[in-house]
Amino acid sequence: MKRMFQKLGKAFFACLALPLAVLTFSPGAFAQFPCPQAPEGPASWWAAEGDANDVTGLNNGTPMNGVGFSNAQVGQGFDFDGVDDFVEIPYSPSLSPSGSFSIEAWIYPRVDGDMAIFDKWSGAVSLTYAFHTYPGHQLQFAISDVAHAGDGSFHYFGTTNVLTLNSWNHVAAVYDQSTGKRQLYANGVKVAERTDVPITIYNGNLRTSIGANSPDGTSTTSYFNGVIDELAFFSRALSATEVQAIFTAGASGKCDWAPIIATQPQSRTVYVGTNVALSVLGSGVAPLAYQWQRSGTNLTGETASSLSIPNAQVSNSGNYSVVVTNSLGGVTSSVATVTVLVPPACATPLPGVVSWWTADGTSNDFTAANNGVLRNGATFTNGMVSGAFFFDGIDDFVEVSNSPSLNPSGSFSIEGWIYPRADANMGILEKWSGSVGLSYALHTTLGLALQFPISDAAHAGDASFHSFSTTNVLTLNNWNHVAAVYDQSTGTRQLFLNGVKVAERTDAPITVTSSSLRVSIGANSPSSTTTANYFKGAIDELTFYARALTVSDVQAIYNAAISGKCKQAVPPLITAHPTNRSVVIGTNTTFMTSAVGSQPFTYQWFLNNSTAISGATNVSLTLSNVQFASGGNYSVVISNAAGAVTSSNALLTVTFPNAVVRVVSTNTGGGATTVVPVQLIANGNEGGVSFSLNFSNTLLTFSSVTAGSGAGGAILIPSTGSVSSGKLGLTLLQSGSGTFAAGTQEIARVTFTAATVTNATNTTISFGDQPTPRQITDSQANNLAAWYSNGVVSIAATEYEADVAPRTNRDHAVTLADWIQVGRFVARLDPVTNSAEFQRADCAPRGTRGDGALSVSDWVQAGRYFFGLETNTPADGAIVEGAFNPPNGPTSRNVRAINAGVFAGQTNTLAIQLDALGGENAVGFSLGFDPVSLSYLNATLGTGASGALLNLNTNSVATGSLGVALALSTGSGFSAGSSELLKVSFRAASSAAGNAVVSFGSQPIVSDVSDTNGVPLAANYLSGNMAISPYPPFLKIARSNSSVVVSWPVVATNFSLQTNGTLSSNAWGNLPATPTVLGVENIVVSTNLSKPQFYRLKNP
């Protein structure tokens, strides 16, 4: 026992409570004063005499990481190395004051810095108090409550330079809650003071540290480098005199003291069968002895600091106290009255129970609707009412799968008993996740508060709307009844504690978010797979209601206390009544209901409150193929073991479907004519229809309108006065009592001409009311409901005559490439691959948009489009090629093959001639010849076609067919008269002889003569011969009366005709005569018969 004798050097002195006096000195010692009586009310006093025990025995510490002990101001003290040493003291209520308190000690700092003396300060766990040194030889003293948790300017309060390094300094920190005043003392003198509005010190569960700070409850910092001695904590504010007396005592320290009561036993009111525990917290020099008394009489064997009364009965009621003694004296506690009551009756279960987790050894829902699953070691303990869920605060929780009944669409309530063993953010019942859905949550928050956030989608990011909480209302390590109520009809939220409303907030009503998130008991689920904010303690009788509980409802449950809610079936409560339905005849419809209460439910649906519908015994009622006779009032009776409830009536109204007037969408090409049908989907009772059609007058030009095939005998009355502005009015009226037939009827056909467009476009034909309003009536002139459905005319990009290039993706223009490509089609150099391509290539005559054949007239017309002589024309006409029918009639226009000759085995040309009448622009034809006798070599423009365009098709010359297409420049024509068009070179076969016919045909190129406008002209096509002569040529002589006729082949152009009268080789001479050409023969007639003559052909 440290203070019975105080050691100083080699001398020992008795502890005296005398006025200040100088006592005996020993060698090397200094003067000291008698120790003062310890001030009243120390909660703990760590003398540091070789251990970290509390002199009172209440809050013993543990030296951590090599704390040493060295000579100190009074005996020994804690010696800290400033690296990692500290003394750890477990959490204790006696070191967590709610009001005034004081800390005082001797310190011997070796360095200047931020070093903890006595500390219970953590932003992560609790901000209670902190007593530190601070750079500049200062002292600092911080306190906080929940409201100031983030207010650093409130926390910190310090001195100027007051400490001396490597010397003993007596320091004290005092908080007087009655005035809100904080004071700091150094060596008995007040060195700093600050006054604020009084606060209640935050009571957190953080450990307390000597010589270090615990920023998160597990790690440490701000280590003290030096010695701390005689540290004492008082549950009251020390006076200046008391601080001065401790300092003045110096090395004598504080004397031991007789016991005092730090915490009195508390009166208890409990119910029969409850275990009652009374306890006292005594302070004084150990050891302390205890004797409990009832009404002043000692209770045998009750000599501990606590008194237990198991299974309390009414007879245990009475006044209890305890006498605490030690060697210096004793003290008697105040009286604690124990009142044992007979338990009240259980509360009748309220209507609207959705789920009720009794936690009586099971996680199932008492209503059997939403059973839970224990997770991560969650278990059971004694509860307020029988059993309860027990959670360790680390990872335990109860998981309840998502359920429609736990996604309320209106008012709802949550209530239950909780036994919190920590002050922290802890989930009670939660369906709250930023990633899955924010619906509702009931949890505790730091500062022993309750919080009840709710949200809908509109407020998902509005934390100010979510936030709704109480102040400090909960009691740790006790049962608290909590209730959270949301009344959707008023938008009011309420929180109750132990039957009393402690908070209320009203906003505009919302429907809380319905999400797929699970419900968690004892935790929060920030996602569908993770949990947080674990509850530490017990939760009992947790119940979810589909309505707003009243104040009396909550009070009744609280007043039932340990009896709880009666474990009996909960009658059904309808949370969603069937609703009125209006359906179209022949369709299906379903009535739905939902209810809460004890499962299972039975259902019976009724028609008009009296007729039970056979087989209609499910939660929903589906009616198929509804008829008019199905109309009426439908209701359902829901029953369970506790009772039955009848829903409100839901009226089923059966109607005709709305008639539909619709424009049928069509497709057309730019520049083409199209018919747009208008249909009526009728019920069979429609007698008249009127409406207006709105259309784009730039894309569609109205042509005409006729009644459709489904109009029956209806009279069509069009209103066409506004068609130029894109509005057409139509009225169709049946005579007398006639009606349109039921079903889809075509009632009108409207003809339009589409505009030419270079790009495909859509244009809507919509319904309007000008010039003719929309209306459908029956035959009695009653208006009928109708829908009007617009249609779309899709106009393809205009396909132009002669627009054939590029072949795979037209450019909707006639260019040089198109002119060339049409020429290649005409010459059959490229095949036409599809009907659309043929339709565009067959572009002449322009007036008929082709004639069903490809000829040079089409080539001419393509040139006229290309050179801009005529505007582009939308494609139309034949889509399949047929026979070419050139104009008929007598004509002197000829295309002829001019006879020619050739030696066998040699080559010569044959001319093609046009006998023109004037204005011919192009000529096309095919030449046929015997490929055995003649072989095609080449063809060139004739002298009369200089500068013309020439396309030759030589693909079939091996079989005796040559195609020729020839055209002058666009707009030019041949002059009247004969013009040589073409020279065709052939080689005669060596074995050939006689006349080889060169004829005209239509394969591969049809025979056609076109004028400059691309109009086919009548013409005759005259064949010719290629006379094949042997080589050398034969000279034939014949006598005719008195003349001699000498003939030889015209082809022998390099031969001369010579005569000789004697056959002398030197007497031959050229005959001075010009031959006459007759066919393929040269003819010379000689009348010199006076003497013999010899004739020969001589090749120079």
3-state secondary structure 824-839: HHHCCCCCCCCHHHHH
Query: Could you tell me the pLDDT band of residue 575, with boundaries at 50, 70 and 90?
Result: confident
Task: Of 347, 360, 382, 388, give the one whose Cα is nearest residue 275.
Answer: 382
Judge whether 933 and 995 are in contact, CB under 8 Å: no
- Of 26, 187, 28, residue with least CA distance to 104: 187
Judged against a pLDDT cut of 70, whether residue 118 lies above it is answered with: yes
224: left (phi over 0), alpha (psi -120 to 50) or beta: beta
Grouping H, G, I as helix, E, B as strand and the rest as coil, residue 314 is helix
Largest distance between two CA atoms of the chain:
200
Q: Which of 566, 575, 571, 570 is nearest to 541 (CA)?
A: 566
Does 69 score more than 50 pLDDT? yes
* Cβ atoms of 1011 and 973 closer than 8 Å: yes
CB 767 within 8 A of CB 659: no
pLDDT on residue 31: 40
Half-sphere exposure in the Cβ direction for 856 (13 Å, CA)? 31
Mean pLDDT check: name the lowest of 52-61, 458-467, 690-699: 52-61
Cα–Cα distances in angstroms (integers) from residue 621 to residues 615, 629, 784, in the given order: 10, 17, 30
Percent of the chain residues past pLDDT 90, beyond the cut:
72
DSSP 3-state assignment of 347? strand
Would you give the DSSP letter of residue 255? B
Listed range (254-258, 354-358, 976-980) with the worst mean pLDDT: 254-258
Position 29: which residue type? A
DSSP per-residue codes, 99-156: S-EEEEEEEEESS-S-EEEEEEEETTTEEEEEEEEETTTEEEEEE--STTTT-HHHH-
Closest by CA to 683, choosing from 588, 767, 749, 586, is 586
The stretch 645-661 carries a mean pLDDT of: 94
Look at residue 514 and tell me whether its pLDDT is greater than 50: yes
pLDDT for residue 20 is more than 60: no
Question: Residue 112 corresponds to which tokens in the numbers above?
Answer: 């200047």
3-state DSSP assignment of residue 822: helix
383-406: average pLDDT:
95
Q: For strand 1076-1078 and strand 1008-1011, is the pairing parallel, antiparallel, or unpaired?
A: unpaired
pLDDT of residue 42: 66
What is the pLDDT, as a whole number, of residue 434? Answer: 82
pLDDT-based confidence at residue 1078 (cuts at 50, 70, 90): confident
Identify the pLDDT of residue 621.
97
Look up tokens 């198929």; give the residue.
624
CB-side exposure of 746: number of CA atoms within 13 Å?
11
At 35, is the pLDDT very low, low, confident or very high (cuts 50, 70, 90)? low
Q: Which tokens hold the place of 855? A: 């000829």
Domains in the chain, CATH or no CATH each: 44-252 (2.60.120.200), 260-341 (2.60.40.10), 353-563 (2.60.120.200), 573-655 (2.60.40.10), 659-796 (2.60.40.680), 894-1029 (2.60.40.680), 1036-1098 (no CATH)
**46-50, 251-255, 1088-1092: which is most confident:** 46-50
Task: Read off the pLDDT of residues 1021-1030 as tens digits, 9 standing for 90 and up.
Answer: 999 999 998 8
Q: What is the pLDDT of residues 226-235, one digit of tens each?
A: 999 999 999 8
Of the given ranges (661-670, 786-795, 881-890), which has the lowest mean pLDDT?
881-890
Which pLDDT belongs to residue 1082?
Answer: 84
Q: How far is residue 942 CA from its own chain's centroid? A: 77
Q: Which of 1027, 1036, 1024, 1000 is nearest to 906 (CA)?
A: 1027
Q: What is the rounded (10 degree) CA torsion for 847, 851, 852, 855?
A: -110
pLDDT attached to residue 16 = 30
Beta bridge partners of 1024: 998
pLDDT score, position 19: 32
**In whole angstroms, what is the distance from residue 727 CA to residue 695 CA?**
6
Residue 103 backbone dihedrals phi, psi, to 5 degrees: -130, 130
pLDDT of 444 reads 97
Section 642-666 average pLDDT: 94
Across residues 26-49, what is the average pLDDT?
61
Candidates 239, 288, 222, 243; CA nearest to 261 is 288
Count, residues in the chain: 1100
Give the integer Cα–Cα distance in Å for 544 and 404.
13
Q: Cβ-count burial of 222 within 10 angstroms (0-12 exposed, 13-18 middle, 19+ buried)?
A: buried
pLDDT at position 217 is 61
pLDDT attached to residue 671: 86
Q: How far is CA 556 from the centre of its chain?
A: 47
- Per residue in 741-794, pLDDT (tens digit) is 999 999 999 999 999 888 899 999 999 999 999 999 999 999 999 999 999 999
Predicted local confidence at residue 597, as pLDDT: 85
Is 506 buried (19+), middle (13-18) or exposed (0-12) by CB count in 10 A? exposed
Mean pLDDT of 25-35: 41
| Bridge partners, 976 (sequence order) | none
Q: What is the pLDDT of residue 1053?
A: 77
* Least-confidence region, from 7-21, 49-63, 399-413, 661-675: 7-21
- Region 397-405: what's the mean pLDDT? 95
Q: What is the pLDDT of residue 722?
A: 97
| 215 compared with 565, residue with greater pLDDT | 565
Residue 850 has pLDDT above 70, yes or no: yes
The DSSP call for residue 1085 is E
What is the DSSP track for 856-913? HHHHHHHHHHHTTSS---B--S-SS-----PPPS--S-EEEEPPEEEETTSEEEEEEE
- CB–CB of 998/982 below 8 Å? no
- Cα–Cα distance between 892 and 915 in angstroms, integer? 7
| pLDDT above 70 for 25 | no
* Angstrom distance (rounded) from CA 804 to CA 840: 7
Neighbours of 773 (CB within 10 A): 12
- Above 80 in pLDDT, residue 28? no
Q: Is the pLDDT of residue 22 over 50?
A: no
- In order, the DSSP letters of 662-728 are EEPPEEEETT-EEEEEEEEEE-S---EEEEEEE--TTTEEEEEEEE-TT-TTPEEEEE-TTGGGTEE
Enter the tokens of residue 721: 């006065």
User: Residue 12 above 50 pLDDT?
Assistant: no
- pLDDT (0 to 100) of residue 202: 87
Helix (H), strand (E) at residue 464: helix 463-466
Q: For position 6, what pLDDT does the model report? A: 35
Compute the distance between CA of residue 294 and CA of residue 131 in angstroms, rounded to an integer. Answer: 43
Average pLDDT estimate for 173-193: 97
What's the CA gap between 885 and 1021, in Å, rounded? Answer: 14
DSSP state of 284: S
Residue 29: pLDDT over 70: no
| Residues whose CB is less than 8 angstroms from the CB of residue 331 and which lie 6 or more positions away in sequence, other chains included | 258, 259, 260, 261, 282, 323, 324, 325
**Enclosing H/E stretch for 414:** strand 412-420
Return the pLDDT at 2. Answer: 41
- The mean pLDDT value of the chain amounts to 90
Q: Which residue has the tokens 């025995």?
A: 57
Q: Which of 233, 218, 204 is nearest to 86 (CA)?
A: 218
For residues 234 and 42, the answer to whether their CB atoms sit within 8 Å is yes
pLDDT tier at 133 (50, 70, 90 boundaries)?
very high
Spatial distance between the Cα atoms of 1 and 45, rounded to a whole number of angstroms: 13
Report the chain's terminal Cα–Cα distance, integer Å: 164
pLDDT in tens, 457-488: 999 999 999 989 999 899 999 999 999 999 99
Does the pLDDT of residue 17 top 50, yes or no?
no
| CA–CA dist 988, 1033 (Å, integer) | 14
* 863 φ/ψ angles, rounded to the nearest 5 degrees: -65, -35
pLDDT at 15: 35
CA distances from 652 to 289, 359, 388, 626, 704 (A): 83, 45, 48, 10, 46
Residue among 576, 649, 582 nearest 619 (CA): 576
